[in-house]
Amino acid sequence: MIVHVVSGPSNIGLAAVPLKPWKQTPKPGHFRSFQGGSWRLDKGAALAGKADNPGTWTFQLPEGGKYTVESSQEDWAVAPPVVTELRSAETREIGVFLVPAASLKILVCDPDGAPLPEAWVYLWLSRTDPSNLGERAHLGMEKTGPDGIAVFDGLSGFRSYDVLAAGLAMYQVAQAGDVVPGAGPVRLVMSPARVRQVRVFDDVTGALIRGASVVEIDHHAIDLFLSSQMVVQLDFGGACLYRDTTDEFGVARVADLMDANLYVKAEGYTPRSAFVPGTRTDVDVAMTRYGILAGRATDPQGTAVPDAEIHYRIRAGGKYLIEGTVHTGMDGRYELPATEEQMETLRSGMTTGAELFARHPTAGRVDRRVDHLAVDPAKDWQYSELDLVFLPERTLKIHLVPGAVPVAGGTVTCRFAWGHSRDSLDASWVAAPELEHSDILDDDSAVLEGLPSQGDGWFYVQASDEHNRKLLAMLGPVRFEDLDEEWWVNLPQASELGSLEFQLETAGYHELHLQHSFRVRETLRYTPNERLQVIGGRVRIENLLPGPYSMGIDVHPSMPVEIHAGTTTGLGTIRLEER
């Protein structure tokens, strides 16, 4: 990149500063927003240029990306700011204007003129500035000192800015537009605000929580979009409108604003957010102990279920990382614990979720899954509460009328949908960790215990090992409440089954895998995998349930296969590549 000084001193040094996407908490004064996204100035990576002659500088940039050019002397500033995007190995010539730098002083006071320390002052490029091409750049933030003054250095005296003062619980936001550096202090008067008390307490014990951070955002007070995500990313730092810490009575005081958003953090608790519509002088915020998930277990009538056993599995990035068992208390409350080390692992950016399998001797069972757990304090949209409603269990006896393949010695397995509605059938399935299947007895019957009394599920019937664990029937979806205590099922006859045939030209013994596909979105995931030993040569497999399959041999990639009733599906010749 070649930079020419179009106007200003030609002997002033220049620096090329990379702009990096904003993925971490920026320091005050190091954040700017440009068109196309949010970026931060990487001050530590500023590159010095080579002065070819007065007024011309050459920069050898290590990589492509967005760069801005700044003066290396505090007394001079580049105006308007230059932002250019270069591809790797690209050379581009740009021109800059150097103007004397100036300071902007902001005096924050009350209506009587008394200075207000500890107020946060924010600085933006003015909307009406000629060089502002709709970027609305946030240039920095500073806190007022004991004299109520905040100072922004290194600004262009030929540009206009917007400023805003906030962050004091007892005062309203104050702002001013189109201010110009170099003149006297800009006066921002913060008028007293009505006070709202926020009481923070433990949702289980009711104990008041001291030292909790309470942040309040008012979207109507200013013409600025300040998202809640930005507030949380800045760790409830300066980028908020009102902030206070709860006292020994668990009470924080913020402004009594219309339609406010509250964000509460307390050590040892999951961050909480709450929308306060209208004006409510007092607000109560119940905090859940810091863990993965918590909630209350009840029966359908809302009565607490004490001493229920809850087995849980926590997954992140598609893998189960934590597993354990907890019991509900006398009030039905439960909490999934986690060590700080485990929480750090779950905060690594992967999607987190939990699976809960709850059982009680008389109340019954409930199985739930939830995604987006509250494991990252930088996010306030995650789940931290999940109530469990137990349903009575039932026993089902299935009578199997034999077909082409004997069933004695086989198994019947039930899989049921998460939740208890037909809408979940196309989503995910869960098998209970216990009592999910039953052996088929000599009288061709099977007894399944511990099934939910409501909801939807599938049943599938498999033959015994002697008959290669072939899938003989897939029954469902069925509603559990529609089934009687006994159920008669006719298994398919030979004419209702199909065959598979192919020539395997690779000699020796091989393991063939056949897996039937469900007729819902989660195909191939939970159906049984039939494993058959075959020998190189002509291979024929009979009495297969019609439908789509995935077939693989040994560790070789699988292929789709369709089996039709009463016919033979031929695959021709298969030769396995050496591995």
- Annotate 352-420 with DSSP letters as a single string: EEEEEEEEETTTEEEEEEEESBS--TT-SSSB-B--EE-B-EEEEEEEEE--SS--TT-EEEEEEESSS
- What is the predicted pLDDT for the residue at 486? 92
pLDDT at position 250:
94
pLDDT at res. 373:
65
- Residue 220 corresponds to which tokens in the numbers above? 């109507």
Q: Which amino acid is at 483?
A: L
Other beta carbons within 10 Å of 228: 19
CA distances from 532 to 19, 272, 512, 541 (A): 59, 54, 5, 9
Phi-psi region of 12 (alpha: psi -120 to 50; beta: other; left: phi over 0): beta
Cβ count near 409 (within 10 Å): 14
What is the number of other CB atoms lying within 10 angstroms of the CB of residue 335? 18
* Predicted pLDDT of residue 368: 79
Q: In what order do the strands lie in the sheet with 364-371?
A: 319-327, 309-316, 352-360, 364-371
- Two tokens at 74? 């505090």
Whether residue 150 contacts residue 144, with contact meaning beta carbons closer than 8 Å, is answered with yes
pLDDT score, position 135: 43
Question: Mapping DSSP to helix (H, G, I), strand (E, B) and coil, where does residue 496 land?
Answer: helix
CATH for 393-491, among 3.30.70, 3.90.920, 1.10.287, 2.60.40?
2.60.40
On whether the 195-287 domain is CATH 3.40.30.10, my answer is no
3-state helix, strand, coil in the chain (%, to 5): 5, 50, 45
Superfamily of domain 495-574: Carboxypeptidase-like, regulatory domain (2.60.40.1120)
Contact status, residue 537 vs residue 466, Cβ threshold 8 Å? no
The reported pLDDT for the residue numbered 577 is 73
Q: What is the domain class of 293-389 according to CATH?
A: mainly beta
Handedness of CA 121, 123, 124, 127 (dihedral sign): positive
| Nearest Cα to Cα of residue 504 among 541, 529, 530, 548 | 541
Sign of the dihedral defined by the CA atoms of residues 347, 348, 349, 350, in that order: negative
Four-way CATH pick for 2-100: 3.40.50, 2.60.40, 2.60.120, 1.10.150:
2.60.40
379 vs 227: CA distance, rounded Å: 12
Q: What is the pLDDT of residue 340?
A: 65
Q: Where are the domains of the chain?
A: 2-100, 195-287, 293-389, 393-491, 495-574
Query: pLDDT tens per residue, the chain (579 residues)?
Result: 888 888 878 878 888 888 766 443 333 333 333 333 445 566 567 777 777 777 888 888 877 777 888 887 777 878 766 778 887 778 888 888 888 888 889 999 999 999 999 888 888 777 666 555 444 455 677 889 999 999 988 777 777 888 888 877 678 778 888 888 877 789 999 988 778 889 999 877 889 999 998 888 764 443 333 333 333 333 333 334 677 899 999 999 887 776 677 888 888 777 777 777 766 678 888 887 766 677 889 998 889 999 999 999 888 777 788 889 999 999 998 888 777 677 767 766 566 778 888 999 999 888 777 766 655 544 444 446 678 888 888 889 999 998 888 888 888 888 765 443 333 333 333 444 334 568 888 889 999 887 878 777 778 888 888 777 888 888 877 888 888 999 999 999 999 999 999 999 888 888 888 887 754 434 334 566 677 778 888 999 888 988 888 888 887 778 889 999 999 999 999 888 765
Dihedral angle, C-alpha 356, 358, 364, 365, nearest 10 °: 20
End-to-end CA distance of the chain: 52
